[in-house]
Homo-oligomer: A and B are copies of this chain.
Amino acid sequence: MASALNTIETHTCTNGLVIITEPMSGVQSAAMRWLVPAGAVFEDIHNLGTSSVCAEMLMRGAGSLDSKAQADAFDHVGALRDLSNSIRYTQLSASMIGNRIDQAIPMLVDMIRNPMMASDSFAPSCELASQAIESLADDPQQRTALAARLRHLPTPFNRDTLGTVEGVQNLTHDALCAWWKDHAKPTGSVISVAGDFDPAAVIEQIESLTCDWSGSVKQPAAQGNPARGYAHIEDESNQVQILVVHDAPHEGHADSMLEKMVISVLSGGMSGRLFTEVREKRGLCYTVSASMRADKERGVVSNYVGTTPERAQESLDVLISEIQRIGEGNVTEEELVRAKTGLKSRVIFAGESTGARASAIAGDYLNLGRTRTLDEIIDKVNGVGLDELNSYLKRREMGTPTIQTLGPDALNAPAGL
């Protein structure tokens, strides 16, 4: 079993930077994730979109290499890289053949520590960030998700990571540079590497390139009470988007695996209740799914249906009734076996990808304060009992739901689940 061979190590540098390594057998690639505490939650309220513009700027030259020279150098090494901003972090991702990681690391460190942030890159970066916001108009599913997020989560965790057109327009080059400098700090940053590489050598190389780096950033606290409830966006699209969002345990909560099992029963495969009831039996929609996202502080379940205007109300009704029905605690032994098998298969599939492993170990560290092996997760899945699951369902805390629709007409939505 491949996973048994992997040893995950967590190394904390004296400046607070955390480096997590997982060598994997049977692969030639290596993947890195570098999470910097510079997500959308840290943006000034007048400059929403700062992290989006920043992610663009960070790709445009660093150290002694200008934008084009940097692109050439990474392609010369065969390293693919990407920078993206999420709600809490800005993430640098890189993949390469493992035996060239030593050539990529100095350039990756430069991207975070010494970005060029050239003034002539600023206008095109703002332009691209604005285009991304404008192109949202053509993506009804994403617009629905953002509208639901805005009303479901507390400030500032309800932000759209793309920002606003005004926020980007208000941003200055100086403000952007200062913002990155304030947030690109070692304490609060996590680097993970998974695949074919020598952990000791990688840790030593990264540490030698970051030992003179210092400072810390703390994630902000949540503020205020979110609105939640039902809202509709009128839109003359051919499809209706329906999203029912409710609370879930945070990642480190003792109930977290139980909630994941519930989602697997609802939506884990083609035998899942939502697929069976909404799509298969009634042909109500093309897409139906439930998914869970959780971090250190909170979890959220999103139940989604994409359908036609004629079928929208019935789709929502059936979706709500399935969410309520499972709350009675009526999961069967056979459903549990399938849900477990599905969860374990997905864990093993993802365990074969260096990128997925690098993301998983960084996520575990940030959300749980420690890493987990694949075997530990599989043991946890296997350990869930049917009575335990059904009694969890009877005390499941979903909070006030947020129901968001987008389409020609508003629907009748319940106030609670």
Contact = CB atoms under 8 A, between A and B. Distances in A.
B345 A97 contact: yes
A166 interface: no
User: Is the interface on chain A under 10, 10 to 19, 20 to 34, or 35 or more residues?
Assistant: 35 or more
A264 to B, nearest CB: 9
Given A280-B67, A338-B76, A345-B78, A270 B59 contact: yes
Contact of A341 (B75, B276, B279): B75
Nearest to A127: B283
Contact of A27 (B131, B269, B344, B352): B352
Interface string A95-126: 11100000000000000000000000001110
Interface string A1-24: 110000000000000000000001
A337 interface: yes
A135 B342 contact: no
Interface string A63-89: 000011001101111111100000000
A311 B295 CA distance: 40
B341 A78 contact: yes
A227 interface: no
B341 A308 contact: no
A75 B271 contact: yes
Nearest to A235: B138
Given A75-B268, A308-B134, A341-B76, A128 B283 contact: yes
B28 A308 contact: no
A3 B96 CA distance: 16
Contacts of A216: none
A286 B128 contact: yes
Contacts of A353: 352-353
State the 5 A-B residue pairs at the shortest beta-carbon distance, nearest first.
A26-B26, A124-B283, A78-B341, A78-B345, A75-B269
